[in-house]
Structure 1
Amino acid sequence: MRWLLSSSLRRASPLSSSPGFVRMLCADPATTPSFDDGRAFRLKRTSEIVRALTVFRLCSVPVLVTHCDKLLSFSRSILGPRLFSLLMRATAYGQFVAGETVLEIRVAMDKLSMMGMRSMLAVPIEEDLGENREGEQQYDENLAAMLDCVRISKSGAKTTSPMMQLKVTALLSAELCKRIAVLLSHPGLSEQFSLTRLLHAMEGQEVRFSGLSDGEAGHFLCGLRRLHRVGEYAKCQEVRVLVDAEYTYINPALTLVTMAMMKKFNQSEPWIWNTYQCYLKDSFSLLSADLSVAVRERFCFGVKLVRGAYMDKERKLANEQSYPDPIHQSWESTNHSYHQSLDMMLDLIAKDSKRYSIIIASHNEDSVKHAMKRMQELGIPKDGTCVCFGQLLGMCDHVSLILGQEGYSVYKSIPYGSIDSVLPYLVRRAQENRTVLLGIRKERELLRRELWRRVLRRSSGPAGGTL
């Protein structure tokens, strides 16, 4: 199997194993690397560049993104399962998904490792209101998938500190999360959801929660125990679990159970991390409040810092239900919120890198450069585990590749699974990230330049290794 993996990688990207070429990409350590340099794309095959240009062009058409679910369904009915599968593997699935089998996933992980990047696996299972299943069977099956993700993350990692992503609504219904979020807003009912009581429930004790029906309470206890199993196994395997934020109407419940997991598993270092969406007006105050809890309860604290991806739906709901828009009104305000939270975490890490960690999950070059500058000023090592960077697989590669070649810890979020299981995830991500997809003109231009360079080189002489 090792021979098969290594030979597959050699065919996939010959230059990626060339130390001389890697050194050529690295800038002077004393200077800030430029993300305007498209040379990093020379680590990619020509077919990968063509695919990326095709997918990004399609994603830049708003009407296609808005109706992509209907278009995909229509394409499947016309082409049939086999041709539709080939089309998807040649386009969006191939661009943004690692694959379906363990071998495909490990090949993708190894390719990233050889380009100086790390993998953060994500099982594309989530749930929104109205999608909850009856009984516990589906959630138990999702638990098995999460435990498999821990195993693959550990066995496929080429470096220390493997990571994976977790959506709480894969293990606990979104309807119940919304119900708990409502209860948390009432002081008289919120006291029963203390971290200590949740921890007792996670460990198998029978804990009663007033305000929940017997069915809701039973499902909550099952969900907490599923989360406990993931956290326990991940810590045993030394895999860090990054819990994703979702919609504002369920986020209080997601943060609640995540903080309970932190209290249990983050006693010596941060194995469980929570996500903060800086496009929300209250994101900094939420982060500050949770930090205070971590200090008071004496557990370590890990943060995944994002801008956010649910803008359209959040604003639509605020308008329909006549409550204040929770999203910052301008890009500048969101940037300020992001950098404010980032600076606070970096200051804490500079003082105590064992108790605090952050992944700067951003496709924004200004935020990446801001973080790099602050790390240098504070003396935070760029190759450590306390500060790292993250981007989605198949997006923002011009930033990810340069960061990786410069020695920073950079992770690519890697969803995996069958085409049928991943398509709903891809549709949601495309529609939620339409603003990001519309703003990738620079990456498209760098890809075009590299493709044109290869065309000119081929027409004037022998083909290079990646052609």
Structure 2
Amino acid sequence: MEKKPAFSFDNLETAFAHLSDKALKKTRNLFRLMHYPVLVKTGLWLSKLAFTLGMPVKGFIKKIVFHQFCGGETIASCRPVMASLDRFGVKSVLDYSIEGKKEEAKLMAVAEEIERTIAEAEKNAHLAFAVFKVSGIADTELLQKVQEQKQLSEAEKQSFLRARDRFMSLCDQAAQRKVRLLVDGEESWFQEIIDQWVQDAMRTHNKEGAIVFNTFQMYRKDMLRRLKDARHDAVAQGYFLGVKLVRGAYMEKERANAEHRGEEDPIHPTKQATDEAYNEALKFCIDNKQRVSLVSGSHNEWSNALLAELVDLHGLSRSDERIYFSQLYGMSDPISFNLAKAGFNVVKYLPYGPIKEVLPYLSRRVDENSGISGQASKELQRINQELRRRKSLPKLPTIA
């Protein structure tokens, strides 16, 4: 049996090989700043206000934070980033990070841009998937109203049908182009509508393999059961289940909403409980690999190491197209690049869009990275270690 290469997330030379000293120092400065979350959040709030007032702050945001977490403002501007990542074995997923619109024209415009990302994924070998959020193409308040089975006006009924048509059209185009399409997770008060749409699309398009993928947010107490129910439906209806696993992105909002409604907290009570649910979901997906294709969206080293171990224990090729590891661009490079060098399938979510429009996305990245105990602390520690390692390397002799 061929021996598979070992890997370690502590291999910082591999983790940061794609970054020059200058780029690495710039990243270090940003993560240092994130140790002061009030300062960073105030800066982003002021930036949003400045945009509203028409002040010239675009260049400042672009230089300080945008390029750390986003690929560019357009698909074309992201292509050099995609090519750079692919040189180190890491594929990309173009993520048009616009959401929360209500006007029909703006929702249609977002859908048209997502169509362009699907077309790009068909022809660009650096891209492994396309992705979108339903909140970018549908009025989420209307989706919530439908989920709560409230009375709709005739105009609202027509708006809902148009949103569903936009969703299904994107899935149809992905299937026609043979591009795998990830549907991102959202808040629970309209997620059930999304789940139904995705299930309908899977039943249509996933007959020969997983094209459409749904997202399962494992911080929810009911999600492992929902995952198993989804697999049961796939078996019963004769299609392949596309699964993207994440821990979840809306914990505070979910808990506040449940408290407001007088309902039970839907989120696991501890991080450990969420971690255990996530890892159980990984095992379930690999145990059911004949029916399930998996994208594991995690920045947790324990979970990534577990999935890598499961792939090897099940005797699978590390390049099996049914299994992908995924992290966000600008974060967790020791995980992404070490897994890729070891032969696993790895993708980076590469957000893009006009700077003014992606501020909500940047704010979420700042939130999850901020503070002494946040993601930034570990990122900063490893960046400093790599800069020290590079500094200690013997200097090459110069030719006079």
Structure that is richer in helix per residue = 1
Decide whether aligned partners of structure 1 residues 433 and 261 sit closer, same or farther in structure 2, where only a CA change above 3 A counts: farther
User: Aligned AA for 1:37?
Assistant: N
User: Aligned AA for 2:168?
Assistant: H
State the TM-score, normalizing by the size of structure 1: 0.79
User: Aligned AA for 1:169?
Assistant: S
In the alignment, the residues of structure 2 paired with residue 436 and residue 348 of structure 1 have an alpha-carbon distance, to the nearest angstrom, of 39
- Name the SS of the counterpart of 2:203 in structure 1: helix
**Correspondence for 2:395:** 461
Gaps of 5+ in 2: none
**Correspondence for 1:337:** 277
User: Aligned AA for 2:147?
Assistant: A
**Correspondence for 1:38:** 12
**Correspondence for 1:70:** 45
- Name the SS of the counterpart of 1:122 in structure 2: strand
Post-superposition CA distance 1:65-98 (Å, at most 9, x none):
55453232366699942xx333222221111111
User: Aligned AA for 2:283?
Assistant: D
In the alignment, the residues of structure 1 paired with residue 32 and residue 54 of structure 2 have an alpha-carbon distance, to the nearest angstrom, of 22
In the alignment, the residues of structure 2 paired with residue 357 and residue 54 of structure 1 have an alpha-carbon distance, to the nearest angstrom, of 38
CA shift for structure 1 position 31? 5.7
**Correspondence for 1:101:** 74
In the alignment, the residues of structure 1 paired with residue 373 and residue 113 of structure 2 have an alpha-carbon distance, to the nearest angstrom, of 29
User: Aligned AA for 2:386?
Assistant: E
**Correspondence for 2:122:** 154
CA shift for structure 1 position 294? 1.9
- Name the SS of the counterpart of 1:415 in structure 2: strand
Decide whether aligned partners of structure 1 residues 448 and 330 sit closer, same or farther in structure 2, where only a CA change above 3 A counts: same
Please state if 1:373 is matched with 2:309. Answer: yes
How many residue pairs end up in the alignment?
A: 396
- Name the SS of the counterpart of 2:99 in structure 1: coil
- Name the SS of the counterpart of 2:279 in structure 1: helix
Decide whether aligned partners of structure 1 residues 417 and 440 sit closer, same or farther in structure 2, where only a CA change above 3 A counts: same
CA shift for structure 1 position 281? 0.9
Question: 1:2-401 residue pairs with structure 2 within 5 A?
Answer: 30=4, 32-40=6-14, 41-64=16-39, 66-73=41-48, 80-81=55-56, 84-127=57-100, 132-133=102-103, 136-158=104-126, 162-183=128-149, 211-349=151-289, 352=290, 355-401=291-337
Gaps of 5+ in 1: 1-27, 184-209
- Name the SS of the counterpart of 2:324 in structure 1: strand
User: Aligned AA for 1:116?
Assistant: G
- Name the SS of the counterpart of 1:163 in structure 2: strand
In the alignment, the residues of structure 2 paired with residue 77 and residue 211 of structure 1 have an alpha-carbon distance, to the nearest angstrom, of 35
State the TM-score, normalizing by the size of structure 2: 0.92
**Correspondence for 1:206:** none
Please state if 1:449 is matched with 2:385. Answer: yes
CA shift for structure 1 position 432? 5.7
Post-superposition CA distance 1:203-245 (Å, at most 9, x none):
xxxxxxx953312221122112111221111122221110011
User: Aligned AA for 1:423?
Assistant: L
In the alignment, the residues of structure 1 paired with residue 397 and residue 124 of structure 2 have an alpha-carbon distance, to the nearest angstrom, of 33
In the alignment, the residues of structure 2 paired with residue 163 and residue 294 of structure 1 have an alpha-carbon distance, to the nearest angstrom, of 21
Decide whether aligned partners of structure 1 residues 102 and 252 sit closer, same or farther in structure 2, where only a CA change above 3 A counts: closer
Identity of aligned residues (%): 29
- Computing the radius of gyration from Cα coordinates, the structure with the larger value is 1
